[in-house]
Amino acid sequence: MNYSSLKIGLFIPCYVDQFYPQVGIATLELLEKLGCTVTFPLNQTCCGQPMANSGFEHLTKSCDKLFYDLFADCDYIVSPSGSCVLHIKDHLKVEEKPEESKKLRRRVYELVEFITDILKVDSIEAEFPYRVGLHQGCHGQRGLHLSQMSELNAAPFSKPVSLLKKVKGLELIELDRADECCGFGGTFCVSEEAVSVKMGKDRVADHIRHHAQFITGSDMSCLLHLEGILKRRNSDVKVKHIAEILNSAVKQIPAPIS
């Protein structure tokens, strides 16, 4: 199917916009390579989750309205963050437009699920010759069902894994705990600093134990937290958003570390 006629709105979460522009760029380029016509409304800010998860959902009204006004005319809205997408899917509500809000919520997709379920791509031209560990963001996994969770007695599947398997040279490592939370948790990362950091350290240790060179995931917020821990201990292990890996066309790849 030709998707170029559809209007795809790109939603770049606030912290990605400010701290990880390369993830936004990778997402945009990747979607364009896959044949999408992408628009990026310039006045976007935040999904409202930091307020809502702290108990201040009532202070997200203007974020909701802003999001609605900017993206209402898009056929799909795509974002490289499972957590922000889940928040919008679960909570976005413009008071005077309850029905339209609901409809908009159904058109919001996390990048991996959009590529897998809507675009249904068979192959991705990418090469990433490294050992990579996948950190499943909880909201993407348990909220958006990007992959099967270990808690359930149900058939396994993983949308990010099936995409990563299409990447040339990428060696996906197994982890001891496939879907343990990293401990970021929004404002939890500062209000419960001790536990948050311990969870992050344990998550990082699992990847290092299995010789990962990169930790990837579809949620930059988890990776931001894990990166903070890796950097503090001067680790060689790096974080990379899955969009950056999927967008890594052969020519852009640096020589592998020997």
Partner 1 sequence: MSKAIIEHAAASETFNKDESYVDWHDETLWFVRQKRDKSSKLLPEWEQLREAASTIKNYVLSHMDTLLVSFEQKAKENGIHIHWAADAAEHNEIVLGLLKQHNIGKMVKSKSMLTEECHMNEFLSKNGIEVIDTDLGERIVQLRNEPPSHIVLPAIHLKKKDIGDLFHEHLGTEAGATDPQYLTEAARQHLRDKFLTRRAALTGVNFAIAETGGFVVATNEGNADMGAHLADIHIASMGFEKIIPKQEHLGVFLRLLARSATGQPVTTYSSHFKKPREGQEMHIIIVDNGRTTQLGRPDFRNSLKCIRCGACMNTCPVYRRSGGHSYHNAVAGPIGSILAPNLDMTKNADLPFASTLCGSCSNVCPVKIDIHDQLYKWRQVLVKGGHVPQSKELGIKAMSVILSQPRFYQWSGRLGRSVMRTIPFMVNNGLNPWFKQRDMPEPPKESFRDWYVRNRKA
Amino acid, single-letter form, for residue 161: V
Relative to beta strand 108-110, strand 76-79 is parallel
Task: Give yes or no for residue 24 binding partner 1 (CB under 8 A).
Answer: yes
Interactions with partner 1, residue window 193-252 (CB under 8 A):
193-200, 202, 224-225, 227-229, 231-232
Q: Which of 66, 72, 94, 161 binds partner 1 (CB under 8 A)?
A: 66
Q: Which residues within the stretch 160-199 sit at the binding site for partner 1 (CB under 8 A)? A: 177, 179-181, 183-186, 188-199
User: Does residue 55 touch partner 1 according to CB under 8 A?
Assistant: yes
Q: Interface with partner 1 by CB under 8 A: which range of 54-62, 108-116, 124-132, 210-218? A: 54-62
Contacting partner 1 within 86-115 (CB under 8 A): none
Which residue from 210, 190, 36, 125 is spatially nearest to 200, judged by alpha carbons? 190
In 190-250, beta strands by DSSP E: 214-217, 238-241
| Structure-derived torsion over alpha carbons of residues 182, 116, 53, 152, reported in degrees to the nearest 10 | -60
- Which of 95, 96, 151, 174 is in the footprint of partner 1 by CB under 8 A? 151
Handedness of CA 61, 67, 72, 78 (dihedral sign): negative
CA 169 – CA 163 distance, rounded (Å): 13
Is residue 25 at the binding interface for partner 1, with CB under 8 A as the rule?
yes
Rule CB under 8 A: is residue 44 a binding residue for partner 1?
yes
Q: Is 4 in the site for partner 1 (CB under 8 A)?
A: no
Q: Contacting partner 1 (CB under 8 A), which of 16, 124, 212, 215? A: 16
Q: How far apart are CA 70 and CA 58, in angstroms?
A: 20
CB 82 within 8 A of CB 220: no
For residues 21 and 176, give the distance between their C-alpha atoms in angstroms, rounded to a whole number.
32
CB of 201 to partner 1, least distance (A): 8
- Closest CB 212 distance from partner 1, rounded Å: 19
How many CA atoms within 13 Å lie on the side-chain side of 232? 10
Residue 155 found at the interface with partner 1 (CB under 8 A)? no
- CA angle at 138 for the pair 132 and 139, rounded to the nearest 5°: 120
Residue listed under structure tokens 């990778």:
26
Q: Which is nearer to partner 1, 75 or 192 (CB)?
A: 192
Half-sphere exposure at residue 96, Cβ-oriented, CA atoms within 13 angstroms: 3
Instruction: Confirm or reject binding of residue 56 to partner 1 (CB under 8 A).
Output: yes
CB of 219 to partner 1, least distance (A): 12
Cβ proximity to partner 1: between 102 and 233 the closer is 233
Indicate the residue among 61 and 131 with the shorter CB distance to partner 1: 61
